[in-house]
Every structure is written in structure tokens, then in C-alpha cells.
Amino acid sequence: MRITKSILILCAATALGATTPVWAQKDSTEAKSRLTLGGYGEAVYSRHFYSDNVFRYSKAEKYKDAPGYGRVDLPHAVIMVGYDFGHGWTVGTEIEFEHGGIEAAVEKETEETGEFEQELERGGEVALEQFWVQKSFSKALNIRAGHIVVPVGMTNNGHTPNLFFSVYRPEGENTIMPCTWHETGISVWGRAGSWRYEAQLLPGLNSNFFNDQGWIHNGSASPYEFRPANALACAARIDWSGIKGLRLSLSGYLGGSNNNDIVTDPNGKYYKYNAVVAIGAFDFAYRNQWLTVRGNVDYGHLNDAAAISARNKNQTTMTGNPYPHTFVGEAAWDAAVEAGVNTLAWSNTKQKLYVFGRYDQYDSYVPAEGLTDIGWCARTVVSGGINWCPIPEVAVKAEGGVRLLDSQYNNEPFFALGVTWTGFFIR
């Protein structure tokens, strides 16, 4: 069997975190199969010691002594399949079931004269996060087209559960940006020495979905059978790993977001605004036998935020309208760091037991001039816990912490326990 290029090493196989979104390449001499099959998954129990009522911020005093609530969840269950056709041509796919997927069934209701009814038995989402074809000309030049991950920020570039200590994905980035951010577009990437680069051309975000609680988080969504692409955007990332155990990365995004929907109105009041989204991000990872440290800083700016806020706030409320009706910040930011010590590093065992701490501070709503601030959108999350890895592919996680808000709101303590796996079946 002639294999000209290998394909698709799970980013989980690297010690420092992903340098490609989910899939990476290795030299053809290391390849064992044309087919690559792997995945990852998470099962979580969480206990929240605060109210989940929608008025817990606007009427904070009323919910000060709420008993809290518990949940079980399957945040992500992912199947990844790739194949090497030879001559530099490869394909990759990633299918994700979030929160258990969707369970729907048709049932015959005996108590309702035998009528057939469609029942939604369980909520969730099913997403095709990657579906691309790639041509590799050399290690330094690869062209990928199709549905791809946008590698802006630390979490989007390394979203498998062995690349963060927390039970759920890091909160700040997961709040202010799409996560995992995936779009249909084209990417050029490659490696040269200690450097890796990637540049992408993508459809722009949709400002109709921007809001105060999540800034642009929902902007890559589309409730339609297609993704509007009236506005285009670009994303880029560069990684440096010239020191053993250390990776430093810069990434960014730039693109218009207004009039990027199913209907545009050139005569409309808000048509003239571009609503350009600009994001800059820095992240790093360091790892040795004893210590793992990761961190990130992200800052985003939305041009014309006051006009987009006014437009979104006054959108029609007709039945079926999928848009939020809130203001959106002119800016949003996040800064986070986590560090874990492997307490079993002194022994000969291959097991790892990390004791970790994490600090995350973010604000999803920095208002435009003239708009009122929303205090509960600024949060600080402090947490700590353990990650026990009996084998490299499996991690048992426990985390306790508190989300700190401004004094007029109630703080939000929590505890979470999860079991995760990340690995290959065929590679």
C-alpha cells in the first residue's frame, strides 16, 4: 500500500495542545493505515448552589437563598473519521452529538383515540463540525476546503477534554465566541521548523444573533438549510514551539456581520452599517513531567454596536423569529490561566493525578457609548480540583468553584464531576 501522506492525528495526542483544529498530520513513514477512526466524549454530573430562575439577576434578593439544582449531562460525544486517498489527497470528518443528541419518535397514543403523535423525548444537538478535503503539496503548504474549525483562541484550537483541566470547556472563551467554532470555507496551512501557520477565508457572522450574555457566541448559527454568506471574513493563527514543552500562539478574526441573513433590505434603516467583528487572541501552553500550565487572553470589538443593538432590540416578535432581542456589547474580553501539578510524577507509574487551580475573568458586554452597562455580564470564576488519568486516553475530573459577580448579585458556587475519553480506534 502506497501512502504518500499521513493524516489526522488527534490533537489529544500532543502534550501541549492542538496546533491544528482537532486533526494534525504526521510524516507518511509513521502512518499505519489509510483509515483513521477516533473520537472523544464526556459524561458529567454537576451541582449548582444557586437559582436557575431567569430573574435571578434582575431580582437578585428574591433568589438569594435558593436551594440550587443538579444536572447530569453528556456535553459532547464525537466520532472522527479520516482517510488518505494517496497522492496528497486526504479527507476528514467530525460528527458531534451535544448533550445526548435529539431523540424523537412517533407514538400511537391509546388515551387519545389511537392518534399518532410525534414526541420529542430528549433535547440536544447533532452537528457536523468538520467535513473537508485536503491537498498536501509539502509539509509547508496544505490547502483544505469544506467545513473546518476556526482556530481562534485556545479552546477552539484544542477543544478535546484532555486539553483543559475543568470539567466543562473553559467558561470565558466558551461564552464570548462560538465554541467549537466551525464554518464552511477554505484554509491554507503548513509548518516550517518551529512555526505553524494557518489562514482561512470564511462566511461572516450574523449580527442578528448577537446578544448581551454571549456577545457573538451565536453569530455562526443558522436556522436555515444553508449558511448566509453575503459577508465574508478571514481568520488566521500562528504557533511557535521552539522551546521544549512550550507553545506560544497568536490568532485573530476580521469580518463584517450585518446584512448576513436570509433577507436583506437595501432601503432599510440599518442596511448601511457593516458591523465589523475584530478579535485578537493570545494563548500558551507549557508542560513538563511535573507541571502543566495553560492560559489565554482574548479581546473582541464590534463596530456599529449601538446601531446593531437598536436593530436587535426592536426586531419583530412574530412567532418563529429565532433572534434574541437584546443589546450587544461594543467589546468583549476574557483572560484565563490554569495550572496543574502531576502528583504521581515521582513514581514509575504511567498514571497521572493532577491537582489544579483555574482562574477565568471575562465580560461579555462592554457597552457602546450611551448604552447602560449590564453588571452581571462581568464575571470571575475561581475553581480547583483533580484530574486522574489511569491511562492516557481516560480522565476522571472533579472540580469545585464559584462564579463571582458584582455585589448587587448573588455569587454562584458549583461542583462538577466528569469522566472523559479521547483516543483512536484505528490510526
Residue 289 placed within a domain: yes
pLDDT of residue 156: 96
- Model pTM above 0.85: yes
d(CA 250, CA 166): 23
d(CA 164, CA 360): 13
CB atoms closer than 10 angstroms to residue 116: 9
Residue 419 placed within a domain: yes
d(CA 83, CA 90): 6
Residue 243 per-residue DSSP state? S
pLDDT of residue 119: 64
Q: Whole domain around residue 321: which residue ranges?
A: 9-101+126-426
Flag whether pLDDT at 105 surpasses 90.
no
Tell me the per-residue pLDDT of 143-197, one tens digit each, with 9 for 90 and over.
999 999 999 999 999 999 999 999 999 999 999 999 999 999 999 999 999 999 9
What's the farthest any 2 CA atoms get from each other in the chain?
A: 72
d(CA 144, CA 91): 9
Smallest CA-to-CA distance from 39 within 426, 423, 420 is with: 423
Flag whether pLDDT at 3 surpasses 50.
no
Residue, of 389 and 121, whose pLDDT is higher = 389
Residue 97 placed within a domain: yes
Residue 353 placed within a domain: yes
Reported confidence tier of residue 396, pLDDT bands at 50, 70, 90: very high
Flag whether pLDDT at 7 surpasses 50.
no
**Which residue bears the cell 444557586?**
50
Flag whether pLDDT at 21 surpasses 60.
no
Over residues 387-414, the mean pLDDT reads 97
In order, the DSSP letters of 314-352 are T----TT-----S---SEEEEEEEEEEEETTTTSS-S-E
Residue, of 293 and 317, whose pLDDT is higher = 293
CB atoms closer than 10 angstroms to residue 198: 23
pLDDT of residue 63: 94
Reported confidence tier of residue 11, pLDDT bands at 50, 70, 90: very low
d(CA 367, CA 377): 11
Residue 374 placed within a domain: yes
Domain holding 94: CATH number? 2.40.160.10
Flag whether pLDDT at 70 surpasses 50.
yes
H helices, E strands: number in the chain: 3, 21
d(CA 353, CA 347): 11
Residue 4 placed within a domain: no
Reported confidence tier of residue 20, pLDDT bands at 50, 70, 90: very low
Residue 421 placed within a domain: yes
Tell me the per-residue pLDDT of 261-288, one tens digit each, with 9 for 90 and over.
887 778 788 889 999 999 999 999 999 9
pLDDT of residue 9: 39
Radius of gyration of the chain (CA): 22
Flag whether pLDDT at 216 surpasses 70.
yes
- Total structural domains in the chain? 1
The answer for 153, left when phi > 0, alpha when psi is -120 to 50, beta otherwise, is left
Flag whether pLDDT at 316 surpasses 90.
no
d(CA 311, CA 326): 9
Residue 111 placed within a domain: no
Reported confidence tier of residue 106, pLDDT bands at 50, 70, 90: low
pLDDT of residue 151: 97
Tell me the per-residue pLDDT of 45-58, one tens digit each, with 9 for 90 and over.
999 999 999 999 99
